[in-house]
Amino acid sequence: MSKVRFLGVMMMVVALFAMGFSTAAQAEQTGKLAEVTARGNLICGVSGTLPGFSFLDPDTGEMSGFDADYCRALAAAIFGDGDAVEFVPLTAAERFTALQNGDVDVLFRNTTWTLSRDSDVGGDFGPTTFYDGQGIMIPVALQEELGIESLADLGGARVCSQSGTTTELNISDQMNALGLEFELIPQETSADSLTAFVDGACDVLTSDKSQLAALRSDTDNPADYVILPDTLSKEPLGPMWLEGDSQWGDVVSWTVFATFYAEELGITQANIGDFAGSEDPNISRFLGESGELGSFIGLPSTFAADVVAAVGNYGEIYDRHLTPLGITRDGSNNASYLNGGLIYAPAWR
C-alpha cells in the first residue's frame, strides 16, 4: 500500500471514528426514558410511611424525605423540574410487583440490594444512596428489667418485623445460629410494625437501623426505646428499575452520582449560581457549560446543574432529612470518600 493511500485510509478511519462519537453524543431517547419524557412526568415508587425517607408531611401534604428528594432529583434531571413527579406509596410486599407491572418507573424505596433481587426479581440496582444494617429496638424498661445488652439476651422474645423484607430472613438466621427460640410476628407496613411494638404485641422491633431511628422519632416518647448495638446484616439501599434498559439505568445512576459529585466540588443548592463561568474544567463539565456529557445518555447537558438546583447535593439531602433523626454521617460509610466514607462519584468526563 502506498504512503498516500495509507494516509487516506487512516483519515477515513479517523473520520468514521469521530462520527461514531458524534452519534453516541447525541443519543436518542429510548425505552423508559422516552416513555417518561412523552408522559411528561416521573412515576416514582416510595414507602410513603417512613419518616426521614418518604412520608406525607402533615404540614404541607407533600411527600417528604431522603428517598422522595431522589425522586425529585430524577425528575429534575429529565425535565429540569423537580416537581414533575408522581409519588406512589408501596408496601414492601407490593414494590417489586409494581415495578414489574410498569406501575412505577423506578423505586426509591429503602430497598436492599441483594443477589436474588438483582437476578430473580428482574430489576437492576443503581448506586447505593444509604449504607445501612439491620438492628434491634427494645423498650428501655424491658432492657433494664431483664438486663438485655445484645441479641444473645433475647431468647423467647416476640419479634415484630415487616413482611416481604430481608429483615425476616436475617433475624431468623441470627436467632437460629444462636440456638434461641423466638416468635416472629410479621406486619404489613413499617407503621404497622411500630404500632404493634408500642402496643406491646411484641417485645422487639427489628428493621434497618435507619428505619428504627425514624420510627422511634415517631413515638410519643422516643427516649422510652433503645436501639441495641448489634448490626445483623449489610443493607445497601438504593434505586431499582426493570432490567434490560441500559439508558434508563444510566439516567438514574448518573442522577445519583450528580448529588455525590456536587458535594465533592462544594456546589450547593444555594451557591450553584456562583460557579457559573468557572475556569475549572471539572466544574464546567459538571454544570454543562462545556461538553455535552448529558446527551450521551439522552439528557440535557445541564442535567446535573438542574438536579442540584432542585434538591441540593448529597450532604444537603442527608442533613435535611436524616441528621435530625440522629442518623449521623461522621465515621460512617455514608460520609463522602473525602472523609473516609463510601459516597463516591466516578469521573465526570
User: What is the pLDDT averaged over residues 205-210?
Assistant: 94
Q: Order the strands of the 182-187 sheet from edge to edge.
A: 182-187, 157-162, 204-208, 134-139, 225-227
CA-based torsion, 336, 337, 342, 346: positive or negative = positive
Going from the N-terminus, what domains does the chain have, and what CATH number goes with each? 31-131+236-339 (3.40.190.10), 134-233 (3.40.190.10)
User: What is the pLDDT averaged over residues 85-101?
Assistant: 95
Q: How far apart are CA 347 and CA 295, in angstroms?
A: 16
Q: Which of 15-19, 118-122, 298-302, 310-314 has the lowest mean pLDDT?
A: 15-19
Query: What would the pLDDT profile of 216-236 be if each residue is shown by its tens digit?
Result: 998 999 999 999 999 999 999
| Encoded amino acid at 209, one letter | K
For 66, phi and psi rounded to 5 degrees?
-60, -55
Please tell me the predicted confidence (pLDDT) of residue 163: 87
Instruction: Give 165's strand partners.
Output: none
- For 47-195, list the strands marked E by DSSP: 49-50, 54-56, 63-64, 85-89, 106-112, 123-125, 130-132, 134-139, 157-162, 182-187
Residue 5 has pLDDT above 60, yes or no: no
Instruction: Give 61's strand partners.
Output: none
CA-based torsion, 143, 149, 152, 153: positive or negative = negative
Query: What would the pLDDT profile of 156-206 be if each residue is shown by its tens digit?
Result: 999 999 888 889 999 999 999 999 999 999 998 888 999 999 999 999 999
Total-model pTM: 0.87
- Tell me how far CA of residue 109 lies from CA of 196, 233, 240, 258, 349, in angstroms: 22, 18, 9, 19, 30
Residue 58 has pLDDT above 70, yes or no: yes
Query: What would the pLDDT profile of 109-158 be if each residue is shown by its tens digit?
Result: 999 999 999 998 989 999 999 999 999 999 999 999 999 999 999 999 99
For 74, phi and psi rounded to 5 degrees?
-65, -40
Q: What is the mean pLDDT of the chain?
A: 91
Helix (H, G, I), strand (E, B) or coil at 27: coil
